[in-house]
Amino acid sequence: MTKKQPNLREVSVGVVGLGLMGSSIVAALLIAGHQVKAIAAIPEDVEGADLRIEKQLRQCNEAGLVPYSPDVYAEQLTISVDYNELRNCAVVIECVLEKIEIKSSVYNKITAIVGAETVIASNTSAIPISELQTYVDKPARFLGIHWAEPATMTRFLEITCGKLTDPQYAQYIFRLAHRWGKEPTFLKMDIRGFITNRLMYAVYREIFYLIENGRATKEDLDKSFRYDAGSWMTLMGIFRRMDYMGLKDFALIINRLFPELSNSETVPPLMQEMVSRNARGVHNGKGLYPYSNGEAKEWDDAFADFNLKIHKLAAGYSAEKVREQTS
């Protein structure tokens, strides 16, 4: 990601939807070296889109991730409300609101312009790709490209096929994603909740169960993830960690523990209470924890700062790197 690959200049990528996430994706694609056609799905999004994108580029420059200042990317970027700009794009990424009627209308506008081989992708994290692609002309070239925020700094990228997706398009994006500096994951089948989300909901089910039964406090449960799971997560992931621990007692503990885990299928009372209180966490000061004024901004800043540091830290420990060190 830190190095421009000149031939990506010849690959135009479109992004439709220029909110926070869309702007962040535009910046990531510019840094990768693409020509980017940034289309505002709603006219108001043109306002400020240039500033949002510039801010992302500047942050990357200041953080030392890219050697160029934002103005270097100006000639690679077109911001517009006109879908005709997408005409020569090899890939178009949709990141508009998570509403099927809005998305399907956007797909119609895209497919009316682009060629039959243009890959069309959604950044959705809520709607199954198999469902979305039924609204797309030539659905074999439709897939999910799910980014994590900020798209310029995170290595995560989830590529998901729907039932009708031709895997060759996904393979093309998978290869391309490596040139974006990502460590993409590839979901052969559309699963509800995608990978991380789905695994995290397994955690949520159990963690609310522990809270409800008075086994531990929120603070303690958070600490155990921050300081214990956090001490190996970024280095190893799950299976590598099992190998590292020696695989010894897992089967034994599974036999004892699986039958005791929560199998709840309903919203935990604590979460239900949050919903009825219209709690929005840091964003409106009503959350699982108390928040004072301005704390949302502090957590934003802390997350941006942490994300950059963990990004740099993770870079030193790919499985390949660990192997190279002594080979």
Interacting positions 203-222 with a second copy (CB under 8 A): 203-207, 210, 214-222
How many C-beta atoms lie closer than 10 Å to residue 128's C-beta?
17
Cβ 53 to a second copy shortest distance, Å: 21
Segment contacting a second copy (CB under 8 A): 7-15, 75-83, 112-120, 317-325? 317-325
Q: Looking at 76, 155, 166, 179, which residue binds a second copy (CB under 8 A)?
A: 155
Q: Looking at 51, 74, 112, 261, which residue binds a second copy (CB under 8 A)?
A: 261
Segment contacting a second copy (CB under 8 A): 19-27, 40-48, 56-64, 181-189? 181-189
Segment contacting a second copy (CB under 8 A): 25-33, 40-48, 115-123, 306-314? 306-314
Cβ 144 to a second copy shortest distance, Å: 13
What the block records as the tokens of 32 is 């990768």
Rg over alpha carbons for the chain, rounded to the nearest Å, is 21
Provide the edge-to-edge strand list for the sheet that holds 142-147: 77-80, 35-39, 12-16, 91-94, 119-122, 142-147, 156-161, 183-187
Which residue's entry shows tokens 């020509």?
35
Please, what is the angle between helix 20-32 and helix 49-62, to 10°? Answer: 50
Cβ 227 to a second copy shortest distance, Å: 4
Cβ 48 to a second copy shortest distance, Å: 21
How many C-beta atoms lie closer than 10 Å to residue 6's C-beta?
7
Cβ 142 to a second copy shortest distance, Å: 19
- In sequence order, the 6+-apart residues with CB closer than 8 A to the CB of 109 are 83
Q: Looking at 76, 100, 166, 287, which residue binds a second copy (CB under 8 A)?
A: 287
Which residue type, as a one-letter code, is found at position 8?
L
Residue closer to a second copy, measured from CB, 47 or 301: 301
Residue closer to a second copy, measured from CB, 6 or 248: 248
Q: Looking at 192, 212, 269, 320, which residue binds a second copy (CB under 8 A)?
A: 192
Q: Where are the alpha helices (DSSP H) in the chain?
A: 20-32, 49-62, 100-111, 129-132, 167-179, 195-212, 218-223, 233-245, 250-257, 269-276, 295-315, 319-324
| Residue 68 within binding range of a second copy, rule CB under 8 A | no
Label residue 74 exposed, middle or buried (CB < 10 Å: 0-12, 13-18, 19+): exposed
Residue closer to a second copy, measured from CB, 166 or 222: 222
| Residue 237 within binding range of a second copy, rule CB under 8 A | yes
| Stretch 112-141 residues interacting with a second copy (CB under 8 A) | 126
Q: Which of 31, 38, 42, 49 is nearest to 79 (CA)?
A: 38
Q: Looking at 48, 168, 240, 269, which residue binds a second copy (CB under 8 A)?
A: 240
| Residue 189 within binding range of a second copy, rule CB under 8 A | yes
Q: Looking at 117, 171, 233, 269, which residue binds a second copy (CB under 8 A)?
A: 233
Q: E strands of 53-176, at which residues?
A: 77-80, 91-94, 119-122, 142-147, 156-161
Cβ 86 to a second copy shortest distance, Å: 29
Residue closer to a second copy, measured from CB, 45 or 190: 190
- In sequence order, the 6+-apart residues with CB closer than 8 A to the CB of 106 are 16, 17, 41, 94, 96
How far apart (Å, rounded) are the C-alpha atoms in residues 297 and 57? 20
| Stretch 11-40 residues interacting with a second copy (CB under 8 A) | none
